[in-house]
Amino acid sequence: MELKDGQYLIDGISVNDLIEKYGSPLFIYDSSRMKLQYQRLFNAFPGIHVQLNFACKSMGNRTVMNLFNRLGSGLDAVSPQEVRLGLLSGFSPDKIMFTPSGVEFEEFEEAINLGVRITLDNLSVLEQFGQTYGSSFPVCIRINPHVMGGGHIKISTGHKGSKFGISLEQIDQIVSIVEKYGIIVEGLHMHTGSDILDPEAFVLSANALYSTAFHFKNLKFLDFGSGFKVPYKPGDYATDVELLGSVIAESFQTFCNEYGRELMLIFEPGKFLVSQAGYLAARVNVVKKTPAAVFAGVNTGLNHLIRPMFYDAYHHIVNISNPEGEKHKYNVVGYICETDTFATDREINDIREGDYLLFLNAGAYCFSMSSNYNGRLRPAEVMVHQGIDYLIRERETFEDLIKKQLQVDLP
């Protein structure tokens, strides 16, 4: 995004024009940023056969998924619905990895019938898989590496107390089930967490997976999940993917030499690919001065962007209607009947009622975590691609809200 002659532009298109055309609140995505991020990460592991599987839980729009498919990406799907969205948006089944957590066995059967790859993360499920399929389909097994990493406890998934994966201390049980049924283990998986602050966590988890890998003879890939930290605020720490990539590539190569075969290295990025490519535009409904603070109340809330309330996440906010205005401190709050505070004491260019604010990093886990809370409708999504804007999801209507509701006249 750039500021030119008082106008904020996304790939050359004025944000104000987009708001005028599509209304607000509005999610705006920049495909050029997605492509840049994809290529940057893909090229960060010199000499290694790498596959990136876009974690579509971060942004589940079919146009976005199709874009990543055309860039050569695979797909990380966590529900049968994400698998089917992936197939609809053009991914071939072998490029889709179904990696759910704690689901009923029928979901794996559905995924197998759809022809996609599966990751199992529980001993009882592994047993059931062995009984049902034996050596008919290869599987990937998710290991819990016992490494604490992640920007917030709610998004740290690789520590000992986490529900995810099979503990690496249970390796003997895994091996015994695998041998009992002749299960073909084609991959090992782990995911330490999201927004990993300490690069050492990646290294520790990688080492845990390398040592586990020697228990399996037929591996084709190791999947290191994700956790690349993107900057959310000016001057924020971000994972240096080139530096990390060269460290991981070297250790992976050493591992492959010892293992005796060149394996593929898979990552499943969500945030890295789409966080910075997304913007949420909202109108300032009210400016309220109280003895405590000046509130800017916008026409969106935790129903559209829950990250600040859920993870205390910082999202940078720009007043696109008054870029030159003097800066003041504001509490930016949503319109939901709860305390949905986006920012406290935030310095923003003078805000007037009717101004438009732009929330940055609104690509990953924003629309995809949205809801109809308070009976509110979800915004439209627009993709800016090669200097042209495309509507990629219509704004919800009242009809959408009542579509599945049944009003039963109870006796």
Interacting residues toward ligand LLP by CB under 6 A: 55, 58, 76, 99, 155, 157, 191, 194, 225-228, 268-272, 307, 311, 364-365
Q: Which two tokens stand for residue 140?
A: 């990937």
Is 256 a residue of the active site? no
- Spatial contact of 284 and 354, defined as CB atoms under 8 Å apart: yes
DSSP string of 285-304?
EEEEE-SS-EEEEES--TTT
Q: Which is nearer to ligand LLP, 68 or 228 (CB)?
A: 228
Q: SS3 for 324?
A: coil
Q: Which is nearer to ligand LLP, 60 or 270 (CB)?
A: 270
Shortest distance (Å) from residue 396 CB to ligand LLP: 21
Q: Which is nearer to ligand LLP, 37 or 69 (CB)?
A: 37
Q: Which is nearer to ligand LLP, 278 or 297 (CB)?
A: 278
Residues 6+ apart with CB under 8 A from 203: 247, 248, 251
Q: Which two tokens stand for residue 287?
A: 């400016």
User: Which DSSP helix (H) or strand (E) runs through 66?
Assistant: helix 62-71
Shortest distance (Å) from residue 242 CB to ligand LLP: 17
56, 140, 256, 337: which is the annotated catalytic residue? 337
Q: Which is nearer to ligand LLP, 117 or 283 (CB)?
A: 117
Ranges of H-type helices in 260-355 = 271-274, 307-311
* Residue facing ligand LLP at closest CB distance: 270
Shortest distance (Å) from residue 121 CB to ligand LLP: 9
Shortest distance (Å) from residue 278 CB to ligand LLP: 12
Shortest distance (Å) from residue 213 CB to ligand LLP: 18
Residues in the chain, how many? 411
Q: Quick one: CA dihedral 280, 283, 284, 285, positive or negative? A: negative
| HSE toward the beta carbon, residue 213, CA cutoff 13 A | 30
Provide the annotated active-site residues. 337
